[in-house]
A and B are shown apart, each in its own frame.
Chain A
Amino acid sequence: MSLMNAKQYEESLRKLKFNVWMFGKKVENVVDNPIIRPSMNAVAATYEFAHYPEYEDLMTATSHITGKKVNRFCHIHQSTEDLVKKSKMGRLLGSLTGCCFQRCVGMDAMNALSMTTYDIDQKHGTEYNKRFLKYLEYVQENDWTCDGAMTDPKGDRSKAPHQQDDPDMFMHVVEEKKDGIVVRGAKCHQTGAVNSHEIIIMPTISMREEDKDYAISFALPADAEGITYIMGRQSCDTRKLEAGTMDRGNQLYGGHEALVVFDDVFVPWERVFMYKEWEFAGQLVEQFASYHRQSYACKAGVGDVLIGATQCIAEYNGAQKASHVKDKIIEMNHLNETLFCGSIACASEGHKEPSGTYYVNTLLANVCKQNVTRFPYEIARLAQDIAGGLMVTLPSEEDLRSPEVGKWIEKYYRASTAVSTEDRMRMLRLIENITLGTAAVGYLTESMHGAGSPQAQRIMISRQVNLEEKKKVAKKLSGVTKDE
């Protein structure tokens, strides 16, 4: 089963025995839970579209291990073309779902591990890469979705992992056994966690020798004994419990995040990919982060949906011919395509690492993500500008359906005679969804902090630009001859 479809994916999730909590209660049926279900639909789309001839070229790749066709989310990049197709796939899926489709994080974790495990082996004579490739083949063969889990709670930010008052603020080893290790800790903000078959753990920061118990990477089935998921809230989330669906904005898709707690969980040795090689923790973090910063091409896809919705509402309002509206739409497109440029550029300028895996240009990947921390906010601002205040003062769908007051909404919230009041309301709800509702988690705040907060990219940019060379040329052209 190397390429599941949406139905098969859903059925595969039903077999997992997750320990999931939400609103203080255990979720007995994760797949059908109305709050979680739209996020499952979004991941399911990554399976379904792999079977569509018109998307297959981006959605699938050829495994370098087996030669079989696999979902690109399970693929290790074998060329810069693969890297570019990854960027394009992100844009495509964002533009089809209008939300976070959650599956890129596992792909990025596996690509980073394909390099770091190889490099550890070269230095220490270990067999992590062999283990990892065996695991990768298992993932590809089953077409699993993997949650790539990096962010620890981190506790007191001024202290290293080993200095924390509570040692569990970073995932760590608590016991070493003959057949594996026992780990404890937590991972925050885990996108798509309960839609995943596997969870891949990575350290969250560079480490020193004193932190070696924290320098661990491993993979487990997502429903392994001792793992607990506590679902994150999203703005407007309980609208999904209401009778009507219009006020959700996005009728089909969504995303989710969770706090994942590991309470003394056993990991067999064959699933361990880094064990106390503390000097490689920073490399794994950087490689994962760079890939993940490339992955934010998805936001250009969500931007496509938001721009489409904004143009629609301008037309529904009868304002589409106003010059400032046209110009704002142009600005939204300009910003959106600039986001895409960064992702395509870092992929096109990628290179082959000693492991054979192709890796993005890290400077450009950081520039890409830095833009993502800003431009979606401006695009959202322009969307709200054009949409008008009605987006946040609109009565509910139940009011529209009400025999008593529905007629007033129908009458007073109609704009263009060519468009029904309901359709106008639907479009406003979609804009609301992306700019301040459940999808704003992915489009805005995740754009800010996902794959590292803005300052993390600025540090990487400052490290990688060649300022001395720029100074040298400036001096030469200006006639400065003294080298101070």
Chain B
Amino acid sequence: MSKKLRIGLKYCGGCTPRYDRVQAVGYLRERLKDRIELVSYEDPDVEGVLVIAGCPTACVDLAPFKGRPVWVVTSPGDAEGFVAAMTRTGDEPEPGDGM
């Protein structure tokens, strides 16, 4: 089994989320438990950042993550897209590989 990717997790603040963001992260953790390890976005060794936003506004400031792959999830559908991106064989995240 290949080494798990360390992905930094960053939530939006959740003022009016349109889905349960924490539940979505729980789902992603479970679905991708063999592929990724979700850690703090402040961890200096992350290989990419997963942004969980509660609505399409996705107001999280992405500037601190410049130079790293960033995936922005704004709905349960996006979460499935992230699963698909992480399960593509041989795929490694690259800058600009965000959703």
A interface residues with partner B (beta carbon < 8 Å): 53-59, 81, 84-85, 88-89, 91-92, 95, 304, 340
Whether B11 contacts A53 by the Cβ 8 Å rule is yes
Min C-beta distance of B8 to chain A, whole Å: 11
User: Which residues of chain A are near B40, meaning CB under 8 Å?
Assistant: 53
User: Which residues of chain A are near B61, meaning CB under 8 Å?
Assistant: 81
Q: Which residue of chain B lies nearest to A94 when distances are taken between CB atoms in the complex?
A: B15
In the complex, number of A-B residue pairs with CB atoms less than 8 Å apart:
47
Whether A55 contacts B13 by the Cβ 8 Å rule is yes
Cα A400 to Cα B73 with chains together (Å): 46
User: Which residues of chain A are near B15, meaning CB under 8 Å?
Assistant: 58, 88-89, 91-92, 95
Could you tell me the dominant secondary structure of chain A's interface residues?
Answer: helix
Whether A54 contacts B60 by the Cβ 8 Å rule is no
Known A53-B9, A54-B22: A92·B59 in contact at CB below 8 Å: no
Q: Which residue of chain B lies nearest to A87 when distances are taken between CB atoms in the complex?
A: B15
B16 at the interface (CB under 8 A from A): yes
Whether B16 contacts A57 by the Cβ 8 Å rule is no
Interface pairs (29), CB distance under 8 Å: A53-B9, A54-B13, A54-B14, A54-B21, A54-B52, A55-B11, A55-B13, A56-B11, A57-B59, A57-B60, A58-B12, A58-B13, A58-B14, A58-B15, A59-B13, A81-B61, A85-B13, A85-B59, A88-B15, A88-B16, A88-B59, A91-B15, A91-B16, A92-B13, A92-B14, A92-B15, A95-B16, A304-B16, A340-B16
Whether A88 contacts B11 by the Cβ 8 Å rule is no
User: Which residues of chain A are near B14, meaning CB under 8 Å?
Assistant: 54-55, 57-58, 92
Min C-beta distance of B65 to chain A, whole Å: 13
7 shortest interchain CB distances as A-B pairs: A58-B13, A88-B15, A57-B13, A54-B11, A92-B15, A91-B15, A54-B14
Min C-beta distance of B79 to chain A, whole Å: 15
Q: Which residue of chain B lies nearest to A57 when distances are taken between CB atoms in the complex?
A: B13
Cα A54 to Cα B59 with chains together (Å): 13
Cα A56 to Cα B10 with chains together (Å): 9
Cα A435 to Cα B9 with chains together (Å): 39
Known A81-B61, A84-B59: A57·B9 in contact at CB below 8 Å: no
Q: Which residue of chain B lies nearest to A72 when distances are taken between CB atoms in the complex?
A: B13
* Chain B 1-53 residues near chain A, CB threshold 8 A: 9-16, 21-22, 40, 52
Min C-beta distance of A304 to chain B, whole Å: 8
Min C-beta distance of B6 to chain A, whole Å: 16
Cα A89 to Cα B13 with chains together (Å): 8
User: Which residues of chain B are near A84, meaning CB under 8 Å?
Assistant: 59
Besides the known contacts A53-B40, A58-B14, 19 further A-B residue pairs in the complex with CB atoms under 8 A apart:
A53-B9, A53-B10, A54-B13, A54-B21, A55-B11, A56-B13, A57-B11, A57-B13, A57-B14, A59-B13, A84-B59, A85-B13, A85-B59, A88-B13, A88-B15, A88-B59, A89-B13, A92-B15, A340-B16
User: Which residues of chain B are near A54, meaning CB under 8 Å?
Assistant: 11, 13-14, 21-22, 52
Cα A88 to Cα B12 with chains together (Å): 11
Min C-beta distance of B66 to chain A, whole Å: 17
Q: Which residue of chain B lies nearest to A84 when distances are taken between CB atoms in the complex?
A: B59
With most chain B CB atoms within 10 A of its CB, the pick from A57, A85, A340 is A57
User: Which residues of chain B are near A53, meaning CB under 8 Å?
Assistant: 9-11, 40
User: Which residues of chain B are near A91, meaning CB under 8 Å?
Assistant: 15-16
Cα A95 to Cα B54 with chains together (Å): 15
User: Which residues of chain B are near A57, meaning CB under 8 Å?
Assistant: 10-14, 59-60
Cα A84 to Cα B13 with chains together (Å): 12
User: Which residues of chain B are near A88, meaning CB under 8 Å?
Assistant: 13, 15-16, 59
Cα A95 to Cα B22 with chains together (Å): 16
Cα A122 to Cα B15 with chains together (Å): 38
Min C-beta distance of A454 to chain B, whole Å: 26
With most chain B CB atoms within 10 A of its CB, the pick from A54, A88, A304 is A54
Min C-beta distance of A334 to chain B, whole Å: 14
Cα A345 to Cα B33 with chains together (Å): 41
Q: Which residue of chain A lies nearest to B60 when distances are taken between CB atoms in the complex?
A: A57
Min C-beta distance of B85 to chain A, whole Å: 22
User: Which residues of chain B are near A56, meaning CB under 8 Å?
Assistant: 11, 13
Min C-beta distance of B2 to chain A, whole Å: 27
Min C-beta distance of B21 to chain A, whole Å: 6
Min C-beta distance of B13 to chain A, whole Å: 3
User: Which residues of chain A are near B21, meaning CB under 8 Å?
Assistant: 54
Q: Which residue of chain B lies nearest to A304 when distances are taken between CB atoms in the complex?
A: B16
Cα A91 to Cα B54 with chains together (Å): 14
Cα A89 to Cα B15 with chains together (Å): 7
